A and B are shown apart, each in its own frame.
Chain A
């Protein structure tokens, strides 16, 4: 568990950091490429200017002496070229028709590419004794009495200084960039780690937890994104907690509720067995039967309650017409068992009374309300459904005065059997109603009505769909 968590945490950090690194690397490469391009252009431009300057110097030093062009080669041109101190140089001056006037090495001249007619100075690359070099060609036209035509100057230089300048400029630009990249990577690592720290804390909290501790985890100091996740976890834990609680309740209720009736049954059974007189045994058997029947009802109610609790948590909510619930409950013939003589009335209107809930749970609630009315109230008993403004009401009414107010105050409490511990009254029925009401956002209302005592399940009405 610890290992898995560690690996997961590391992999998230590594993933984010890796992405950051890739972005930095790609960005760095792009910037480096652009720097390289620019510095090369800058070096080329500045050294091309030197070449051009030297060629211009030489061209300016051409003079015509007795009809022949002559170059008094200027030292300044070579001092200019010596700005690239370690580069080899080349020069050649030719007259019309390519006749050589002077050259570094008259035996070896570099052929220049054909010049476009309009160009003043053209630059070209070639080789100078096996080394790559850059050349400029410049021509100067003469129109003297004894000489007319163009004299062409070609000056060249190897590329050492250019390349050195490119490298220098590159390094000058790249070193700070590399430093910045390193710094950014460090910052990114710090940021990622601090961003993931709440997650680590969360994971640590979860793993430290008692397995039965389903209380929500604190979400105040968390980033919003984690808050969402934690909310989901907390909701899930809440539902789990509800289920566990329901289970616990069921078990404890069942144990609590069953203990007394089962003990009574045991007593009645024993007395029936010991009873000598036939008549007394008959009576004991009858009591035994009544107790057993009551126990069955109780069991039904407990199971129904457990089912309702479970369904309110898990069953999907659908639109339900409360009139149909009332009708359904009416048609069960429970009252024939409880109070066969009692009159039962259904009071529903024409309009549907819609809520969004679980039909089964509602039926159980209504069934329990009805049973209570039949058992404790006075006939006639009515069941009905109606819409009251934004609320939908499912109610059961009997014609009696209802229980005393102090009893009403305690109605629905699960173990409320102290005041009225007759075998039929368990309090479980009303607790089902209360559970259903709270599950679907409603409440239970009890009180005297015009014609008797009314117990009602009030739920928010479902907006009617056109």
Chain B
């Protein structure tokens, strides 16, 4: 009997084993509108509130998901024919590319989407709505300004010269858990030979691989970690703590644009397209900028030469990142270098 109840509960649950981390409601209209996103509600709230004000007929339910769970539920919705969300916004763009490639997205064309550069648009079914660099974050109180590594080479040198200082106090995403972390690590592995050296260096100082941008940033702010590698600059900016400093690596800086997709068969595809056009519009972009989700990557603003900017383009090339063999190889190399968070 108990077994049966569990079984029933499993059957009734929308996706067994996966669940949203948080939800929020915007607007009080008649029409339900569901958006699933990896973006923290706290960061994106002003933007969603503004959109809800512009679309009073909508009752927007905003679900915040972990990227891998979001991918799994979106894929399941698409392949099993369940009614999908009305919009999906994820930082793990390789997963979004996979979904679009699997014909899980609906096309949309407008002036705003046509104005996007080719690297931020694929098939008119996937669009990059934000501009966020992957940064090195550091605790400004514990680390002197001259000791802050400005590039991966400097970081490598620091790890080699002062392993004691950094032992157990370097943090980065757990790429098995975080789709975004995996994407950054994968992109690093394509970029340069420094990737192998970095892993080796991290391994030597027992770097911590952990989950979730917010947790890593708060760890840096609290002084548990001295340096966080490859975290999204937007989370640092939105954390609003002066203790955390940010460096755009001078050798190259990865720039991510969160992927927005209208799932095929979305009940409110029209509203979803409106939300996309709104997000790409000047008003939303400035709101996103103040939330730290849109960083001006011009050389005057960042001091970063254009040759050091690496935009992660929305293209089928990202499918390589999701390849099971490739992923297994990556994870194997990775797990040999890192100890899981919390274990000594």
Q: Are A106 and B324 neighbours in the complex by a CB distance under 8 Å?
A: yes
Known: A71-B323, A73-B326, A103-B324. A79 touches B102 (CB 8 A): no
The answer for the CA separation of A71 and B319 in the assembled complex, in Å, is 14
The answer for the CA separation of A79 and B190 in the assembled complex, in Å, is 13
Closest chain B CB from A215 CB (angstroms): 77
Which residues of chain A are near B101, meaning CB under 8 Å? Answer: 88-89, 104
Known: A105-B102, A129-B102, A129-B103. A85 touches B315 (CB 8 A): yes
The answer for the CA separation of A276 and B325 in the assembled complex, in Å, is 159
Closest chain B CB from A64 CB (angstroms): 13
Q: Are A89 and B102 neighbours in the complex by a CB distance under 8 Å?
A: no
The residues in A between 108 and 134 inclusive whose CB is less than 8 angstroms from any CB of B are: 108, 128-131
The answer for the CA separation of A258 and B323 in the assembled complex, in Å, is 127
The answer for the CA separation of A106 and B323 in the assembled complex, in Å, is 10
The answer for the CA separation of A358 and B102 in the assembled complex, in Å, is 101
Report if B167 contacts A (CB, 8 A): no
> What is the chain A residue whose CB lies nearest that of B118?
A85
Q: Are B323 and A88 neighbours in the complex by a CB distance under 8 Å?
A: no
Which residues of chain B are near A104, meaning CB under 8 Å? Answer: 98, 101-102, 319, 322-323
Which residues of chain A are near B122, meaning CB under 8 Å? Answer: 85-86
> What is the chain B residue whose CB lies nearest that of A93?
B325
Report if B116 contacts A (CB, 8 A): no
Which residues of chain B are near A82, meaning CB under 8 Å? Answer: 315-317
Interface size on A, residues (CB 8 A): 27
Q: Are A78 and B319 neighbours in the complex by a CB distance under 8 Å?
A: yes
Q: What DSSP secondary structure best describes chain B's contact surface? A: helix
Q: Are B102 and A102 neighbours in the complex by a CB distance under 8 Å?
A: no
The answer for the CA separation of A73 and B326 in the assembled complex, in Å, is 6
* Cβ contacts A72-89/B at 8 Å (1 or 0 each): 111100110110011111
Which residues of chain B are near A103, meaning CB under 8 Å? Answer: 324
Q: Are B325 and A81 neighbours in the complex by a CB distance under 8 Å?
A: no
Known: A86-B123, A104-B101, A131-B103. A73 touches B317 (CB 8 A): no
Report if A101 contacts B (CB, 8 A): yes
Report if B23 contacts A (CB, 8 A): no
Closest chain B CB from A166 CB (angstroms): 19
Closest chain A CB from B180 CB (angstroms): 19
Known: A81-B316, A129-B103. A88 touches B325 (CB 8 A): no
> What is the chain B residue whose CB lies nearest that of A128?
B103
Report if B20 contacts A (CB, 8 A): no
Report if A202 contacts B (CB, 8 A): no
The answer for the CA separation of A82 and B101 in the assembled complex, in Å, is 12
Which residues of chain A are near B31, meaning CB under 8 Å? Answer: none
Which residues of chain B are near A128, meaning CB under 8 Å? Answer: 103
Q: Are A89 and B319 neighbours in the complex by a CB distance under 8 Å?
A: yes
Which residues of chain A are near B316, meaning CB under 8 Å? Answer: 78, 81-82, 87-89
Most buried by B among A104, A106, A128, A130: A104
Report if A107 contacts B (CB, 8 A): yes
Report if B4 contacts A (CB, 8 A): no
Report if B79 contacts A (CB, 8 A): yes
Known: A82-B317, A85-B118, A88-B101. A72 touches B329 (CB 8 A): yes
Q: Which of B79, B123, B190, B326 contacts A88 (CB 8 A)?
A: B123
Closest chain A CB from B269 CB (angstroms): 18
Report if B320 contacts A (CB, 8 A): yes
Q: Are A75 and B324 neighbours in the complex by a CB distance under 8 Å?
A: no
The answer for the CA separation of A105 and B103 in the assembled complex, in Å, is 12
Report if A70 contacts B (CB, 8 A): yes
Q: Which of B79, B100, B317, B322 contacts A75 (CB 8 A)?
A: B317
Which residues of chain B are near A105, meaning CB under 8 Å? Answer: 98, 102
- A residues sitting closer than 8 Å to B (CB atoms) are 70-75, 78-79, 81-82, 85-89, 101-108, 128-131
Task: Name 18 extra pairs, CB < 8 A, besides A73-B323, A81-B316.
Answer: A73-B326, A75-B190, A85-B315, A86-B124, A88-B100, A88-B123, A102-B323, A102-B324, A102-B325, A104-B98, A104-B101, A105-B98, A106-B324, A107-B79, A108-B79, A128-B103, A129-B102, A129-B103
Please give me the 10 A-B residue pairs with the lowest Cβ-Cβ distance, nearest first. Answer: A129-B103, A102-B325, A78-B317, A73-B323, A88-B101, A71-B325, A73-B326, A86-B123, A89-B316, A73-B320
**Interface CB pairs A-B, < 8 A, 30:** A70-B325, A70-B329, A71-B325, A72-B325, A72-B329, A75-B320, A78-B316, A78-B319, A78-B320, A81-B316, A82-B315, A82-B316, A82-B317, A85-B315, A86-B122, A86-B123, A86-B124, A87-B316, A88-B100, A88-B103, A89-B101, A101-B325, A102-B326, A103-B324, A104-B98, A104-B319, A105-B102, A107-B79, A108-B102, A129-B102
- B residues sitting closer than 8 Å to A (CB atoms) are 79, 98, 100-103, 118, 122-124, 190, 315-317, 319-320, 322-326, 329
